[in-house]
Amino acid sequence: MSEKACSNCHFLTREHTCPKCKSRSLSEDYGGLVVLFDVENSAIAKAMDAKDKGRYVLKVR
Ligand SMILES: [Zn+2]
């Protein structure tokens, strides 16, 4: 099963619901994978409003 991106918080998951925000709005059509390790000091994390480390996508269509 392929991974899907949450259209709400952009978290990448294999679940049917987003483990971060519990949204069921997941899409297989996304672009720009970002892996966040250091959320505290990451400009990308701030821009995306990401609170936890993990894998995110930049765009969900
Ligand atoms: Zn989410």
Q: Is 13 helix (H, G, I), strand (E, B) or coil?
A: strand
User: How much distance in Å is there from the Cα of 61 to the middle of ligand 1?
Assistant: 14
User: How much distance in Å is there from the Cα of 6 to the middle of ligand 1?
Assistant: 5
User: How much distance in Å is there from the Cα of 40 to the middle of ligand 1?
Assistant: 19
Supply the range of the domain harboring residue 25.
Answer: 4-60
Q: Which domain CATH number covers 23?
A: 2.20.28.90
User: How much distance in Å is there from the Cα of 8 to the middle of ligand 1?
Assistant: 5
Query: What is the total count of domains within the chain?
Result: 1
Residue 11 in tokens: 């978290």
Q: Give residue for tokens 């519990």.
A: 22
| Side chain identity, residue 19 | P
Could you report the per-residue pLDDT of 4-50, keeping only the tens digit for each?
999 999 999 999 999 999 999 999 999 999 999 999 999 989 988 89
- Predicted TM-score (pTM) of the model is 0.85
Question: In this structure, how many other beta carbons lie within 10 angstroms of the beta carbon of residue 17?
Answer: 13
CA–CA gap between residue 9 and residue 20 (Å, rounded): 8
User: How much distance in Å is there from the Cα of 3 to the middle of ligand 1?
Assistant: 13
Residue 17 in tokens: 């619901």
